[in-house]
Chain A
Amino acid sequence: MTDQSVISGGNLLSTLIYGGTLVADEEAALHEAWRVATGRRSPYTNYYESITANQQRTITRTHTRTRTADLFVLDRGHNLAGKEVILECADVSDFSSAQVVFDIVLPSATAPGSLDDALGVRSEEGAWYKRFPDRAAFYWRLRIPAMGASQKPKIVGAHLSLSYSFDPWRPMNPDQDELGGEASESDAGWPGMGTPWNRRTDALRVQLSTLFDYDPWRDAYQHFQRYRPTWYIPNEDQAQNAMCIARPQGVAGLGRTPQWFGHQGDIPYVEYEAA
C-alpha cells in the first residue's frame, strides 16, 4: 500500500501503561531513562542523559509479556544526529541471542522520504522516525555506541509501538495550522501580538475496509483517545511531515455510515507541544 496514513500505538517504553521496567546502564540524577516515555517534549526539563562521556550506553525495556512493535521514534531535542543508534530485541535477558531491528547512523539533516526508508526519516523539527518489519520480543534495547570525546547521549523522547495504517477517505491538510498568542488591537485598530505560536491541526480521515479492522484500529487509537501523545504520519511516503498530536476536548469517534460498509469518520487533532 502507498499513501496511507499511520498512527502510532501505545508507547511500549512506558512502564506506566504496560508495567515492567525501563532502565539505562547509567543515568544522571534527574535525567533517568523513564523520562523518555513520559510524552513530555521539553528539551530543558524532560530528558535522559548519562554521566560518563564517550561510552556505549544501553536503555533496556523489560516487558511483562511478549510484545510486537514496528515503529520507533526519537523526539526532537536529541543529540544523536549523525550518530549510530541500534535497536535490538531478544527473548533472553542478557541479549546474548539478540535480533538487530536496525543499526543506523541517524541523518543529520532533514531527510524526506518514506517511513520505511533504510535510514528512516528526519522531520523538520528534528524528530526521527523509522518503521521496520514487525518484531515480537520480551526484551528491547536501545544501544548507542560511544559518541566521541566529551559526548554523551541526550534523549528527550523515545517511542516504540505497533503502528496502525489506514487509507484516508478524503484528502488531508497536514500543513493546516492554528495561530495563537496574546493579541490586542490599538485604538486605531492596529494589531499587536506578543510571541505568536503555531500548531498544526486537522483531522484523521479514517476509513476502515472491513469490520475486522476496527479492533486493531482501536488497539492503537485508544491511546490517542486518552490524551496520550501520538505520532501521526499523514502520508507514509512523505513521512517528513509527521508530527506529534493529541486529542482536543470534545466528542470524536468512528461510526458506520450508509455510504461505507466499514467504520469511517473524521477525528480532530492538534499538534502536541508544538515548537
Chain B
Amino acid sequence: MTPDNGGFATAAYILIAIVYGGYVLSLTLRERRLRQRLARLDTPSRQPSHRPAGA
C-alpha cells in the first residue's frame, strides 16, 4: 500500500522555496545597500574656493 506522506513532500518544497527565496532577497537587499553607499560617494564633496578673499 502506498504510504500517505504527502505532507512531507509539500513541506520539503516549501522549505526549498524559503531557502532559495530568502537568498534572492538577501542578495537584493545587500546590493541595494551597497548602491546607496556608492551613490553617497558619488555626491561631490564641497570643493575649496579658489576665488580671492573679498572677490
Physical interaction between A and B: no
Chain A residues engaging chain B, CB cutoff 8 angstroms: none
